[in-house]
């Protein structure tokens, strides 16, 4: 758990049940004491290249470096147009991952990354960029003491398309094989669909970023309960990854949280 800004943040990444290699990755970048960048990435194709090269780390490194560079160039401009800045950073990563595949199709054809990243700034604002089936949720306490968890991102999968077309229902999504058939992602499409959104946060809000190894195993309401019942953010993220492992979810599991301090 870190508290170097006006926010508290932390994350946990677990290899997961039945897995030997962790292809997930998360990172935080402190741009100023009121500006924090958070990212989770879920990669594929590291085994195929035989070099131990992790596409999630490659993509995340390119994005965080671009974010640092763009912010350092002109912080005011960056925060005035955060969606455009995040789009540029994600597109840089897509070009780099795509270059591996073009350079050597045999080694890198399986490279792909689902990624969600979020900028939290000026104490109460946020903006995210997202592609694939990683997710960002907003966990908010209500005035009556109850909590509400809202999925902010849209899954870019064939199963999500089937839901939109009313071919399958909500709970069917989590057992449908097309939930792993991606319609967007870094290295997955030459011009990936990248969802962006900007919004306002309240004091006490929590942003939860997860890879599918967590949210395909644990439903949103249960994720919210785990977070709120934990003693701190480190226990919360570990509780989520441990829960996925206990449910024998055969996937890497990563969770990252950003807490907006109350007055």
- For 217-252, the pLDDT digits (tens) are 999 999 999 999 998 999 999 999 999 999 999 999
- Decide if 120 is inside a domain: yes
- Residue 101 in any domain: the answer is yes
Q: Is the pLDDT of residue 146 over 90?
A: no
Beta bridge partners of 38: 28, 118
Q: Is residue 131 part of a domain?
A: yes
SS3 191: coil
Q: Which residue has the higher pLDDT, 68 or 103?
A: 68
- β-pair type (147-151, 135-141): antiparallel
CATH of the domain at 252: 3.60.40.10
**Range of lowest pLDDT (31-45, 101-115, 180-194):** 101-115
Residue of 221, 220, 222, 208 whose CA lies nearest to 255: 208
Residue 1 lies in a domain: no
Calpha distance 25→42 (Å, rounded):
7
Packing angle between helix 82-103 and helix 55-73, nearest 10 degrees? 140
Average pLDDT, the chain: 93
Helices within the chain (DSSP H only): 46-49, 55-73, 75-80, 82-103, 105-108, 158-164, 212-215, 220-229, 233-246
The parent domain of residue 234 ranges over 7-260
The mean pLDDT value for 12-29 works out to: 95
- The reported pLDDT for the residue numbered 107 is 80
Supply the pLDDT for residue 1: 55
Strand order in the sheet with 35-44: 24-32, 35-44, 112-121, 125-131, 195-200
Q: Is residue 2 part of a domain?
A: no
Its pTM stands at 0.94
How many domains does the chain fold into?
Answer: 1
Q: Provide the pLDDT for residue 2.
A: 61
Torsion, Cα 219 220 224 225, to 10 degrees, reads -30
């Amino acid at each position: 758990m870190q508290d170097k800004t006006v926010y508290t943040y932390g994350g946990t990444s677990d290899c997961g049940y039945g897995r030997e290699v962790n292809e997930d990755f998360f990172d935080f970048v402190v741009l100023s004491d009121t500006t924090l960048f958070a990212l989770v990435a879920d990669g594929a194709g590291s085994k195929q290249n035989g070099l131990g090269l992790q596409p999630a780390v490659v993509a995340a490194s390119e994005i965080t470096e671009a974010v640092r560079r763009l912010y350092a160039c002109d912080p005011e401009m960056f925060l005035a147009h955060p969606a455009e800045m995040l789009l540029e950073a994600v597109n840089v990563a897509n070009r780099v991952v795509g270059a591996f595949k073009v350079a050597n199709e045999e080694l890198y054809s399986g490279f792909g990354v689902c990624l969600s990243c979020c900028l939290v700034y000026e104490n109460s604002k946020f903006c995210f960029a997202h592609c694939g089936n990683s997710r960002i949720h907003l966990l908010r306490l209500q005035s009556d003491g109850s909590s509400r968890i809202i999925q902010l991102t849209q899954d870019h999968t064939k199963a999500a398309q089937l839901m939109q077309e009313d071919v399958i229902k909500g709970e069917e999504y989590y057992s449908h094989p097309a939930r792993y058939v991606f319609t967007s992602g870094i290295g997955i499409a030459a011009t990936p669909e990248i969802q962006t959104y900007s919004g306002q946060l309240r004091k006490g809000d929590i942003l939860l970023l997860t890879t599918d190894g967590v949210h395909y195993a644990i439903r949103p309401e249960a994720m919210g309960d785990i977070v709120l019942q934990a003693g701190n953010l480190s226990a919360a993220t570990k509780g989520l990854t441990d829960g996925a492992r206990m449910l024998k979810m055969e996937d890497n599991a990563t969770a990252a949280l950003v807490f907006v301090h109350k007055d």
